[in-house]
Structure 1
Amino acid sequence: MNPPTRSVFPLSLDLLYELLDVDRDLAPRHLLRRARQEGAVVSTLVLSLAEREGVALGEGSRAELARMTRRCELYRELDAAIRAVPGARTVKGPSLNRYYPEGLLRSVGDLDVVVPDEATLWRVLAEVLDRQEAVEVLMTQLDTDGRRDLLVSVWWLGEDPMLDLDRGVEVTTFAYGGLPERGVPLRPELPAEQVHADVLAVAEERFQRDFTLKDVLDLVCVLTSPAAPDPAALVRVAADQALAPELEELCLKVTGHPALAPVVPAQLLDGLRESARLERARRAALGPLAGAPRLYGFQLTEPLRRGAGDAMEDHDLDGVLLRRTPVADLLLVTGELVDPADHEVAQAALSALAPWPERPAPATAAAPAGSGS
């Protein structure tokens, strides 16, 4: 039996009025409008809290909450199938959902998966495509010090394509991508403890964007759950992963809200203060790192296939790079623009190649909940 992970923190509409700086005299619809500016996680949480607290929901609100519930159920089922693949681990998403108080819904944008090698990456995507038809694949290849890493994601429409974000699964052969221009390299392996991996995955988001209320609430729920990490251990892991400054910033954002300040242990803040100072000094002394050369995959074939095998096949056509994979055929390019002549060369070569063999259909073909296209 899995140990309990649910936070006991008293999340409420009143608290969100305070955190989102909305006048408490305004109706809940004003709170929801403000929450939408923070993204789907916070707006879904408002709807979930409103339902729990007996606020009258209209047909549209109930339908949205039902769609987000089915979305989470889909990701939970995909998460379970993916975690059965040896070596595959998921972070954020359904993993963070486990920490939220019982009965509240943290919506999930996509599912993030870390794998040890390329073969496992294709096995994971095979599990996904056995359960969900996807229409788009994105690939990025990073080459660093003789190491080739991949980021591959597959995507499909939300249940209501006009209102919902697309759904997808992103698989990487590395744990944290870092930010070389700030002296933070790619780090290949996740921390052993899942709660450390989840917290640091949230901290790593700072290299892509500013922290938001979603990140604040994620950390609050982790730190107030039975699975809360030991502060000293979390500081050590953050330092090992070069993320102490980012985790310190997130902790300070939490403590910037008076109602949330007691959540962050003093031992965690004290330890991060020195670790963050040392990490910033290391980055300053090292300076920018050379960025890893990148290649991007431009999708040539659709829909995505359930191809056999767990390896790729590359064809160099006098400098035009065609990559065949178990899910699609791709033209490898170095930027956002694709040369039409290169595209024609790749398509001509592809038409002369034998079709990629398909995998046998899975024994059970029932689609998971919420799998509408």
Structure 2
Amino acid sequence: MRARTVRASLLSKDPTTAAEAGQLIHTLAASIGWVKERKGPQRRSAYLFAKEKHAKCTICGDTFLGFELERLNCLHRHCRDCLQRNFQYTIGNPDSFPAKCCKSLPLSETSHVLSDEEMKAALAMQEAYEASKVISCFSCQGDIFLSDISRDAAYCLQCHKLTCTTCKKEMHADLCPEDPETDALKSLAKEEGWTQCPKCNRIIHRTAGCNSMTCLCKTNFCFRCGNAFPCKCFTIPHNETERSGKSRADIGFGAAFSNGSSSRKASYKERLNYRILRDYQRSALMNQVNQKLKLKDLKIRRQLKVKEIEVAKEIMRLRVKMNELSASERVEKKELRLKAIENGEVGPSAARVIVTRRNIYSWNTKPIPVEDTRPVSRRTRSQRVTEVAA
């Protein structure tokens, strides 16, 4: 807040001398990070910054001041209008994203030319471009962008539904039936004679014991037929399959996912489904928060760019003001010296310096001859030759 107050006071200040104008220029330039370019011995007030020099836009070829152009990663310069047209074309044609010159244009450095709506559209396209997987919600048909390709479901913040990333249908309570690994598991379970819990769909393998099985979800069921007790397996005569410890139950997957509950009275499966849904929801919300933070950062960068342009224009105004004050000060100093010479207020030594410079006399003023009282060894060669000739 203090830096903003100081900058505002400097912008509203009008210098009265050239030295004060030069000091203001360097103070304002330091506040926006401009660096001086020193290519030779120059006075402090004559330093020019790189942003003050003229350059051409690579696209349209027009000449602009340095602060009105944006230097890209490929070292080309684009003006504001060309940058804006480039982004607007890619927003209207998503297949051409990202906007590029020789390389892709970074949004953090070039999006200051966009409006709020254009920034949102550009960020959404960037999210889709950088996503490892994009699927459509089975309920509202909206696009869901996934950064983690290993996840088996995607949470939609619009309709609050889970979509399976394999079959693009509603999330399953267990394995996706269209997954090739699911078919391999079914074949192996049928070959080995495994059974499946009728409640949580876990695959059960019996090593010894009777047909009464208790799953981790506390469900008691028959290993032979896969149904919950009581069943009718005791009426079926024993055969070779039962003696070998294999099950004749059908293995199936693809049951619909239920939201569940966090209540203490809820079953284990309901509490587990609630935690799964909450995990997916948190991940989607975190992604949404990151997008909002990126948009906020782009808006802050745009405000800083506007402030930089405002300060740059003030520096250009102060540069013109400094040149005018310098010219008026030189004229005033020249008049004072001439008046001092006419009144005889200037001594021989000062008059001698004035005579040798030759640039302080007006058109109607004649030089005053002054006797040189210095030793011959202290005089220049031209003065010695003039003295001998006289």
Could you tell me the TM-score, scaled by structure 2's length? Answer: 0.21
Asked which structure has the greater CA Rg, the reply is 2
Could you tell me the TM-score, scaled by structure 1's length? Answer: 0.21
